[in-house]
Amino acid sequence: MFINFFKIIFLLVANLTLAQDFNARNNPALVSIIPSNGIFLVEENYYFGVKIELQQGWKTYWKNPGDAGAPITIEFNDTSIGNKLKILFPFPEKFKDHDVSTIGYEGQVIFPVRIQKDEIDKINEKINLDYLVCKDICIPISETKNLNLNLQNVIQSDAFMESYKTVPKKKLNYFNIDENIISSEKISIKLINKDEFKNTELFAYAEDINLKVKKLKSSFEVFLDNDIESLNGPIDFSFSNGKVYEEISFDFNKKSIQTPIIYFIILAFLGGLILNFMPCVLPVLSLKLYSFLSLAKDDDNKIRFDCSLTIAGIVTSFLVLAITVIFLKTFGETVGWGFHFQNQFFLMFILVLMLIFSLNLLGFFEIILPQNALYKINNFLNTNSKSGHYFSGVFATLLATPCSAPFLGTAVGFSMGSSNQNIVIIFLSIALGFSFPYLCFIIIPKIVKLLPKPGEWMNNLKYFLGLLMLLSFVWISNLFKINYLLIFLFTSLILISTCLKNKSKFTMITSLLFVITNIFFFSEKMNLHKNKLIWEDYNDKSLESYLNENRFVLVDVTADWCVTCQFNKITTLNTKQLVDFLIQHEVLVIRADWTNKDKDIFDFIKRYNRYGIPVNIVYGPKNKEGILLPEILSKDIVINKLMEAGIK
């Protein structure tokens, strides 16, 4: 034991002596700082480079050097400047000598160093570089270099850019992976796109633990030299297929505390239940209520049977959506909640269907159609037929899916990143929650008897429901960018025709309210409501730049087809109180419009495990990772979360 101890001491002393000899006479590494009296500007960030040219056979190391070695470090005499630096490591190679595996570089390597500009224009300082080079022996080297940077003089360098491009970047969403904790000291990493696996290499890094990666036939295994619970931060996985370089981080210490699936099932059920009361479902929910009135005179078995058909329509629709998601996921495609509303053909189908339903409820067909044609239309739209009950469930599901109710975002996010089996379970749980009102009628059919007896009020209710459906038609029409005046004139013509036939006070008043609501809904299009806030279009690079500058940012991911998004704008985002607060505290506002399919926006919300909208996030110096807001906003929620991010 003592002999081994003295051997180690002797080797260390010998290596240090040899290191000094190399530094003095023949250093195997030539180190330089680039550029001189200038700066590199890449994607709105400032960089200089540490260039190391190694003699043949010599190597230096990545941030996780493997079984032996040490990464490069930089120290400033002025610590205030040193705190503004971050060394970036290009994608490395794996070497094996005498059964010792190391990770690093040979030949030439340039380490990009990002520097925070702030108010600095020039830097003229001495920096200390500590690095290790190895061949048959390892030589620790310490050098002092002059750092002469002019941040007003931007320099172009192909060599620097070539090295910078190989630095793994976050948030590219190119490599979709499935990670599993096999044991407390082993993690399995699989690529969802299996065709990429053969040409893909993986390296792993954590600040406080040593990691080894082994490539198997269809997956990677990552070995930890300590228990996973000892991690104090995330593990960074660096992937490359030779063309794309991406870094994906996971905090396995948090992930290891597995949330049971029953938790997400309960969230999915509650989300589906609340979905019944979301704005986008109100027109269909109103038709449900109207159909209940006709059930009051039926026997209990008939009520149960009709409700079962509607539930079957809802469950079938959610099952089809789940299968569609699984099918697309199998081929490497991921979709969001309400993805079908980004399809113009689907929107056209829904638009026509809404118009027919609304015209029938308003009694418009009774005015323009002969009796025989009217009879056929009523048979087609009869919600009390077997097919009518079934398709009312289907129709409700189709209109419900662009909404993201409370609890729903968490449940759907879990399912999208989980197994196919869990996708089906979560979607069926949402369907169960969405069907719950009908389940109540099946369990206690006598509830129907509590509804008021039929009378004149039913005709008024029918007309009111027709107006709600017509308002939904106006909303969908807006997605096609149809001129507002044409929509307004068309709907007004329909209302005038129905009012001439039915001259009751109720018809007149509700029609007037519809016109007022219509004008209010399109007030922004008509420039009647001007917002002092200037919303910037979403750009990931701009967002990252603002965060590096310690700015406060509010991001709103929205779409024209998302009624909940419009509700949030009216009740919160466009209110004078919040607008004044945002302007007063110089909060930058960014809007990501997901009306049409946009991969960048979808990749952005996936970072927060969201697959549907609305998504609202606030950032600040105290929370640059972002604070996710709930689906339904209020002024107090937004202001409180911004204060949590650092606003005083």
Contact 468, 282 (CB under 8 A): yes
Virtual torsion, Cα 449, 454, 459, 465, nearest 10 deg: 0
In a domain, residue 620? The reply is: yes
Strands (E), 18-58: 29-34, 38-42, 45-54
Same structural domain for residues 112 and 150?
yes
**Distance between CA 103 and CA 509 in Å, rounded?**
77
- Dig out the tokens for 467 from the structure: 């107006």
In a domain, residue 375? The reply is: yes
Query: In Å, what is the CA distance from 108 to each residue of 40, 65, 117, 161, 467?
Result: 19, 17, 28, 14, 72
**Distance between CA 310 and CA 300 in Å, rounded?**
16
Same structural domain for residues 183 and 114?
no
Same structural domain for residues 501 and 554?
no
Contact 529, 523 (CB under 8 A): yes
The pLDDT assigned to 591 comes to 94
In a domain, residue 526? The reply is: no
Categorise residue 616: left if φ over 0, alpha if ψ from -120 to 50, beta otherwise.
beta
Same structural domain for residues 251 and 265?
no
Determine if the pTM surpasses 0.85.
no
Same structural domain for residues 586 and 603?
yes
The pLDDT assigned to 11 comes to 37
Same structural domain for residues 150 and 42?
yes
The pLDDT assigned to 394 comes to 84
The pLDDT assigned to 289 comes to 62
Same structural domain for residues 492 and 426?
yes
Contact 362, 491 (CB under 8 A): no
Half-sphere exposure of 442 (CA within 13 A, CB side): 14
**Please, which residues have CB within 8 angstroms of residue 188's CB and are 6 or more apart in sequence?**
179, 180, 182, 219, 220, 221, 222
DSSP assignment string, 176-226: -EEEEEEETTEEEEEESSGGGGGG-EEEEE-TTS-EEEEE-SS-EEEEESS
The β-bridge partners of 235 are: 250
DSSP state, residue 71: B
> Final residue of a domain: which of 137, 165, 193?
165
- Taking residue 3's Cβ as centre, other Cβ atoms within 10 Å add up to 7
Q: Which is it for the CA torsion 560, 563, 564, 567, positive or negative?
A: positive
In a domain, residue 633? The reply is: yes
Same structural domain for residues 206 and 347?
no
**Distance between CA 500 and CA 210 in Å, rounded?**
81
> Final residue of a domain: which of 231, 255, 279?
255
The pLDDT assigned to 164 comes to 95
- Dig out the tokens for 427 from the structure: 């979607």
> Final residue of a domain: which of 121, 139, 165?
165
**Distance between CA 321 and CA 312 in Å, rounded?**
14
The β-bridge partners of 591 are: 537, 556
**Enclosing domain of residue 240:** 177-255
- Dig out the tokens for 541 from the structure: 């690079």
| Total of domains in the chain | 4
The β-bridge partners of 590 are: 536, 555
Same structural domain for residues 377 and 499?
yes
In a domain, residue 335? The reply is: yes
In a domain, residue 58? The reply is: yes
Contact 502, 463 (CB under 8 A): yes
- Determine the angle formed by the axes of helices 576-584 and 635-644, rounding to 10 degrees: 20
The β-bridge partners of 127 are: 76, 145
**Amino acid at site 53:** E
**Distance between CA 485 and CA 488 in Å, rounded?**
5
Q: What is the CATH number of the domain that holds 596?
A: 3.40.30.10
The pLDDT assigned to 290 comes to 62
**Distance between CA 124 and CA 359 in Å, rounded?**
76
Determine which helix (DSSP H) or strand (DSSP E) holds 145, and give its type and residue range.
Answer: strand 138-154
**Distance between CA 176 and CA 417 in Å, rounded?**
10
Length of the chain in residues, anyone?
Answer: 648
Strands (E), 279-329: none
The pLDDT assigned to 587 comes to 93
**Distance between CA 114 and CA 119 in Å, rounded?**
15
**Distance between CA 131 and CA 29 in Å, rounded?**
10
Backbone angles phi, psi at 243, to 5 degrees: -120, -40
The pLDDT assigned to 16 comes to 46
Give residue 589's Cα distance to chain centre: 17
* pLDDT tens digit sequence for 261-310: 888 899 899 988 888 776 556 666 666 666 666 655 567 787 788 889 88
Same structural domain for residues 141 and 157?
yes
The pLDDT assigned to 269 comes to 93
Contact 398, 472 (CB under 8 A): no
- Low-confidence stretches of the chain (pLDDT < 50) are 1-24, 256-257, 367-371, 373-375, 377, 380-381, 527-529
Contact 46, 106 (CB under 8 A): no
Buried/exposed code over 507-519 (b: 16+ C-beta within 10 A; e: otherwise) = beebbeebeeebe
Same structural domain for residues 461 and 511?
yes
